[in-house]
Structure 1
Amino acid sequence: MNIPASKVKELRERTGLGVLDCRNALVESEGDMELAIDTLRKASGMKAAKKAGRIANDGLIGMKLAKEGSSAAMVEVNCETDFAARDENFLNFVTAVTDKVLDSGETGIPALLESGLESMREKLVQKIGENCSIRRAEVFEGSVGSYVHTNGKIGVLVSMEGGNEALGRDIAMHIAASGPTVVSPDDAPADLVAKEREIYTAQAQDSGKPPEIVEKMIDGRIRKYLAEISLTEQPFVKDGDIKIGALLSKEGAKVNRFVRFEVGEGIEKEEVDFATEVAQQMS
Structure 2
Amino acid sequence: MLKKISAEDIKELRSKTGAGMTDCKKALEASDGQIDIAIEALRKKGLASAHKKFSRLATEGLVESYIHAGSRIGVLVEINCETDFVSRQPEFRQLTKDIAMQIAASQSVNYVSQVDIPDNVVSYEYNLELEKEDILDKPANIKNKIVNGRLDKRLKELCLMNQYFIKKTEITIDELIKQHIALWGENIKVRRFERFILGGGLKVNNNDLENEVSSMIQNK
Q: Under TM normalisation by the shorter chain, which class is it?
A: 0.5 to 0.7
- What amino acid sits opposite 1:153 in the alignment? R
- What amino acid sits opposite 1:254 in the alignment? K
Query: Which residue matches 1:265?
Result: 200
Change (3 A) 1:277 1:256: farther
Query: Which residue matches 1:165?
Result: 93
CA distance in 1, matches of 2:214, 2:65: 41
Query: Which residue matches 1:155?
Result: 74
> Comparing both chains, which one has the higher relative contact order based on Cα–Cα distances under 8 Å and sequence gaps of 6 or more?
2
TM-score after normalising by structure 1: 0.46
Q: Give 1:84-103 correspondences, 5 Å limit.
A: none
CA distance in 2, matches of 1:271, 1:241: 43
Q: Report SS of the residue matched to 1:167.
A: helix
CA distance in 1, matches of 2:61, 2:180: 18
In the TM superposition, what whole-angstrom CA distance separates every residue of 1:139-197 from its partner, at most 9, and x where no partner exists?
Answer: xx951121011211111111112361111011001101112100001111100000111
In the TM superposition, what whole-angstrom CA distance separates every residue of 1:53-110 from its partner, at most 9, and x where no partner exists?
Answer: xxxxxxxxxxxxxxxxxxxxxxxxxxxxxxxxxxxxxxxxxxxxxxxxxxxxxxxxxx
Query: Which residue matches 1:192?
Result: 121
Structure with greater strand share of residues:
1
CA distance in 1, matches of 2:176, 2:134: 39
Q: Which residue of the other structure, out of 223, 234, 237, is the alignment partner of 2:163?
A: 234
Query: Which residue matches 1:202?
Result: 131
| Structure with bigger gyration radius | 1
Q: Which residue of the other structure, out of 149, 171, 182, is the alignment partner of 1:220?
A: 149
Change (3 A) 1:164 1:216: same
In 2, are the aligned partners of 1:157 and 1:260 still within 8 Å (CA)? yes
Change (3 A) 1:279 1:198: closer
Where do 5+ consecutive residues of structure 1 fail to align? 1-140
* Alignment size in residue pairs: 140
Change (3 A) 1:258 1:214: same
Query: Which residue matches 2:8?
Result: none
Query: Which residue matches 1:177?
Result: 105
Q: Report SS of the residue matched to 2:171.
A: strand
Change (3 A) 1:225 1:278: same
Q: What is the root-mean-square deviation of aligned Cα atoms in Å? A: 2.4
- What amino acid sits opposite 1:263 in the alignment? L
Q: Report SS of the residue matched to 2:169.
A: strand
CA distance in 2, matches of 1:272, 1:178: 31
Structure 1 residue 205, shift from structure 2 partner: 7.7
Change (3 A) 1:272 1:223: same
Q: Which residue of the other structure, out of 53, 64, 77, is the alignment partner of 1:145?
A: 64
Query: Which residue matches 1:256?
Result: 191
Change (3 A) 1:234 1:277: farther
CA distance in 2, matches of 1:220, 1:246: 22
In 2, are the aligned partners of 1:204 and 1:214 still within 8 Å (CA)? no
In 2, are the aligned partners of 1:204 and 1:218 still within 8 Å (CA)? no
